[in-house]
């Protein structure tokens, strides 16, 4: 078992946003979570990445219980994520966004920061090298010096991928990686996701575009009102009555 949730639950007041969800992420595969708006998909990501503490249940990663770990600890285990709405510094360049993002995640200690130690300088160099490497990987090498305010929505999505990849993760959670981009760009981003998977990175994505999910995913979980209503291969999900009903609002 790679990453597994056991009866994972999150309550917001009286609302059960995630309700006893058992899910297992398959290593080296593209896993997908689908479901109507408000189904609990982003909350499920927030629980696994440590941004919200679960109300109950467990999260096990490679045999270790990570249920109570904060987000920075989880990141050091090789788990990265993107957010549904990308918070980039619009007035900074693409390159600086990745460097700053990377630096925030690999926080140097106070001593290094105050005394500007050699180690800090070496770390900064490494941050910059890494930023160039991941921008190349996501196809933004030529866009590195553009201001974020001047790039397209699709390019912003790529910057979000670059930010996630900068920490050398083995598992990446992508929250609606193609939201707000056109069909051609969706195709391009799909190729990038496949490229990431081809490098051996395990992917778990939330996606609304069914055609894309069906083509891309090896394993799909469907959430509705916080509950898992189906799980399986794309062809199994496609013909599942509970899933069709959930999407039709039945």
Contact positions toward ligand ADP, by CB under 6 A? 12, 15, 17, 35, 37-43
Helix (H, G, I), strand (E, B) or coil at 20: strand
**Angstrom distances, CA of residue 117 to CA of 52, 103, 121, 150, 208:** 35, 15, 7, 35, 47
Residue closer to ligand ADP, measured from CB, 19 or 97? 19
- Minimum Å gap between C-beta 39 and Mg ion is 8
Asked whether 31 and 3 are in contact (CB, 8 A), the reply is no
HSE at residue 51, side-chain half, CA atoms within 13 A, is 12
User: Residue 157's binding partner, choosing from Mg ion, ligand ADP, none, with beta-carbon cut-off 5 to 8 A by kind?
Assistant: none
Residue with Cβ nearer ligand ADP (15 or 104): 15
We find the least distance from the C-beta atom of residue 198 to Mg ion, in angstroms, to be 26
Instruction: Tell the smallest beta-carbon distance from residue 66 to ligand ADP (Å).
Output: 19
What does the DSSP 8-state code read for residue 139?
Answer: T
Q: How far is the CB of 208 from Mg ion (least distance, A)?
A: 9
C-alpha torsion angle, residues 118, 120, 73, 130 (rounded to 10): -110
Binding residues for Mg ion, rule: CB under 5 A, are 41-42, 84
Give the C-alpha separation, 132 to 52, whole Å: 32
- Smaller CB distance to ligand ADP: residue 10 or 158? 10
Is the Cβ of residue 42 or residue 143 nearer to ligand ADP in the bound state?
A: 42
CB of 248 to ligand ADP, least distance (A): 17
Enter the tokens of residue 12: 């917001």
Whichever of 12 and 111 has its CB closer to ligand ADP, that residue is 12
């Amino acid at each position: 078992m790679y990453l597994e949730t056991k009866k994972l639950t999150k309550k917001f007041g009286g609302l059960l946003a995630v309700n006893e969800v058992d899910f297992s992420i398959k290593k080296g595969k593209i896993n997908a979570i689908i479901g109507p708006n408000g189904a609990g998909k982003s909350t499920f990501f927030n629980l696994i990445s440590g941004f919200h503490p679960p109300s109950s249940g467990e999260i096990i990663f490679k045999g270790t219980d990570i249920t109570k770990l904060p987000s920075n600890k989880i990141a050091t285990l090789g788990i990265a994520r993107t957010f549904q709405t990308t918070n980039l510094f619009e007035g900074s360049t693409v390159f600086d966004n990745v460097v700053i993002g990377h630096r925030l995640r690999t926080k140097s200690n106070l001593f290094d920061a105050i005394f500007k130690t050699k180690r800090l300088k070496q770390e900064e160099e490494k941050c910059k090298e890494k930023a160039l490497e991941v921008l190349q990987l996501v196809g933004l090498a030529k866009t590195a010096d553009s201001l974020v305010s001047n790039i397209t929505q699709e390019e912003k999505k790529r910057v979000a991928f670059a930010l996630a990849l900068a920490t050398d993760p083995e598992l990446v959670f992508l929250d609606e990686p193609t939201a707000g981009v056109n069909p051609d760009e969706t195709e391009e981003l799909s190729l990038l996701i496949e490229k990431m998977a081809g490098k051996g990175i395990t992917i778990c994505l939330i996606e609304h575009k069914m055609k894309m999910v069906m083509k891309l995913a090896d394993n799909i979980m469907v959430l509705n009102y916080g509950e898992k209503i189906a799980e399986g291969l794309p062809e199994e999900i496609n013909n599942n009555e509970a899933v069709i009903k959930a999407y039709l609002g039945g």
